[in-house]
Chains A and B, each alone.
Chain A
Amino acid sequence: MKSYDEMANNVLSRIREYETEQNHKKKLIKRAVISLSSVCIAVLIGIAIWNNLSIQVNTYSENDKNIANGSTYSPDESEYISNQGDNPVFIPKVKLPETSNNDIVADIIGLVVYKGNIYTQTEYYYGEDDGRIKELVGEYLGYATGKINEWSSQDDYAKEFASTYEGNVYSVNGYSTDFRICMYEKFKDEDGNTMIWLQFMEKLNDIELTYGNELFGDRLQIKGRISSVQYQEYYDWNEGKDKFQHLSGVTQDELNAFVEGLYSGKFEYVTDFSSELKHTMLYLRLDDYTTVELELIEGGYVRYQYMGELYYVKMSEDAFNPVFNACINNNGN
Chain B
Amino acid sequence: MAGKALKTFTAPLGKDNPVFVQILGICSTLAVTNNLKNTVVMVLGVMFTTTLSSFTFSLLRKVIPGRIRMIAETLIIATFVIIVDIVLRAFMPEIWQQLGPYVGLIITNCIVMGRMEAFAASNPPGLSLIDGLASGMGYAYVLVIIAFFRELLGSGSVWGFPLLGDWWTNWAIMIMPPGAFFMLAIFIWVVKGRSKE
Q: Are A and B a genuine interacting pair, yes or no?
A: no
- A contact residues vs B (CB 8 Å cutoff): none
Which residues in B have some Cβ–Cβ distance to A below 8 Å? none
